[in-house]
């Protein structure tokens, strides 16, 4: 095993190619000249504060199901090779490859900024989605507690929200989530892409194991929190054969709904994903990419709204039919109650004069 390969242990990307906005291209590789007895230094994770002016961001995509979102972190240590957020690291002058999963940023003022924005007299409440870009419960949340601070503010304002993660750490916040669930103010989505622990370790190396995610589904469900399981991404030729089994196990754990997204390979991800396939799964790399192109009109990716989440063509249609059938079979196709926007209130601050009659 080469020195550089040893450095990559526990990481998803297999390279650190320069971001698309940089004038110079730099790429680390093993040239064979490093002495074998030299101490190997693993790639270290750094977490730096990011000064944000606002915390709620908006999008106009008709595909994602929400327009307002909060992302407490930039970059993600889970290292999922397929992560659609990787290209955003290029805006920071960093690589969507190894930099994305090792050079991370957090927003220490997230809770304070959110309180300020929600307290604006002109604010009109809408459902806020937490984690639409990178995972809000990645490992550093255990100590930084940025996401915890955000949901505590939302609880004080009776503000409805949804959250998506592939981390079992979300169970830490059952106290807040269960209390808000009683008021119809929260919904949780947990991503389970495979039940194969070896594939999970390869594809999403620092995320919780599949069994721990299923345990989180059960703990949240038992506490009354509505949970949706996301089979995302669905990768033809790699994990798509597990679709029915994942939904069955999710239903057994108490999930109330399910969704899926076909593999997306925008910008730098298409090269990073194929590089990972060729090293971790060389026996099926050609077949996987052939099937991916068949659901993308012969290309690696099609970014058109209405197509990018599910793909098109016979294979994509079969994927959709299988998913719909499995949802019905396991009782995951029932409509969920909408989150309640009417309870939103700006809580009184210390020193505010209360109304004469409360």
Whole-number Cα distances in Å, 44 to 27, 39, 339: 17, 14, 41
Residue 185 carries which DSSP code?
-
Domain presence at residue 351: no
Domain presence at residue 337: no
The structure's pTM equals 0.89
Residue 60's pLDDT is what? Answer: 77
Asked if the model's pLDDT at residue 31 lies above 60, the reply is no
Whole-number Cα distances in Å, 65 to 7, 61, 75, 160, 323: 39, 8, 22, 15, 19
| pLDDT tens, position by position, 121-143 | 999 999 999 998 899 999 999 99
Residue 33's pLDDT is what? Answer: 54
The enclosing domain of 128 has a CATH number of 3.20.20.70
Asked if the model's pLDDT at residue 330 lies above 90, the reply is yes
Largest CA distance in the chain: 80
pLDDT, average across residues 226-238: 97
Query: In whole numbers, what is the pLDDT of the chain averaged over residues?
Result: 90
Report the C-alpha gap between 56 and 143 in whole angstroms.
23
Residue 7's pLDDT is what? Answer: 63
pLDDT, average across residues 22-40: 53
Asked if the model's pLDDT at residue 217 lies above 80, the reply is yes
Domain presence at residue 353: no
Of the candidates 76, 113, 115, which has an alpha carbon nearest to the alpha carbon of residue 98? 76
Residue 140's pLDDT is what? Answer: 96
Asked if the model's pLDDT at residue 27 lies above 70, the reply is no
Residue length of the chain: 358
DSSP codes joined into one string, 235-298: -TTTTGGGHHHHHHHHHHTT--EEEEEE----TTHHHHHHHHHHHH-TTTHHHHHHHHHHTTTT
Domain presence at residue 348: no
Q: What is the separation, in whole angstroms, between the first and last Cα of the chain?
A: 71
Report how many domains make up the chain: 1
Alpha carbons within 13 A on the beta-carbon side of 107: 23
Residue 61's pLDDT is what? Answer: 76
Say if residues 74 and 104 touch (Cβ distance below 8 Å). Answer: yes
Domain presence at residue 342: no
Domain presence at residue 43: yes
Domain presence at residue 354: no
Whole-number Cα distances in Å, 23 to 20, 64, 84: 8, 33, 23
pLDDT confidence bin for 248, thresholds 50/70/90:
very high
| pLDDT tens, position by position, 162-194 | 999 999 999 999 999 999 999 999 999 999 999
Domain presence at residue 134: yes
Query: Could you tell me the residue range of the domain that residue 281 belongs to?
Result: 3-329
């Amino acid at each position: 095993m080469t020195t550089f390969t040893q450095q990559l242990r526990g990481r998803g990307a297999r390279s650190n190619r320069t971001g698309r906005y940089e004038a110079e291209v730099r790429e680390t590789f093993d040239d064979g000249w490093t002495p074998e007895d030299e101490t190997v230094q693993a790639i270290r994770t750094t977490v730096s504060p990011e000064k944000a002016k606002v915390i709620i961001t908006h999008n106009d995509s008709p595909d994602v199901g929400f327009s307002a979102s909060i992302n407490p972190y930039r970059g993600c240590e889970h290292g999922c090779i397929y992560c659609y957020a990787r290209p955003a690291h290029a805006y920071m002058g960093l690589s969507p490859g190894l930099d994305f999963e090792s050079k991370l940023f957090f927003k220490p003022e997230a809770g304070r900024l959110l309180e300020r924005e929600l307290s604006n007299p002109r604010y009109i409440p809408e459902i806020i989605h937490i984690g639409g870009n990178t995972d809000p419960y990645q490992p550093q949340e255990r100590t930084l507690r940025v996401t915890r601070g955000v949901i505590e503010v939302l609880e004080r304002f009776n503000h409805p929200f949804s959250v998506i993660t592939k981390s079992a750490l979300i169970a830490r916040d059952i106290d807040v989530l269960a209390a808000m669930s009683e008021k119809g103010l929260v919904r949780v989505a947990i991503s389970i892409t495979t039940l194969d622990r070896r594939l999970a370790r390869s594809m999403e190396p620092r995320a919780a194991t599949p069994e721990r995610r299923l345990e989180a589904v059960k703990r949240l469900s038992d506490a009354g929190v509505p949970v949706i399981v996301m089979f995302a991404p669905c990768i033809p030729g790699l994990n798509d054969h597990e679709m029915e089994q994942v939904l069955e196990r999710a239903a057994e754990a108490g999930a109330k709904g399910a969704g899926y997204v076909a593999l997306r390979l925008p910008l730098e991800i298409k090269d990073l994903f194929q590089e990972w396939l060729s090293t971790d799964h060389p026996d099926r790399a050609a077949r996987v990419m052939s099937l991916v192109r068949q659901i993308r009109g012969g290309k690696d990716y099609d970014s058109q709204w209405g197509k990018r989440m599910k793909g098109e063509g016979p294979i994509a249609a079969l994927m959709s039919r299988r998913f719909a059938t499995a949802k019905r079979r396991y009782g995951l196709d029932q409509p969920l109650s909408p989150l309640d926007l009417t309870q939103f209130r700006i809580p009184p601050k210390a020193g505010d004069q209360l109304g004469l009659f409360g």
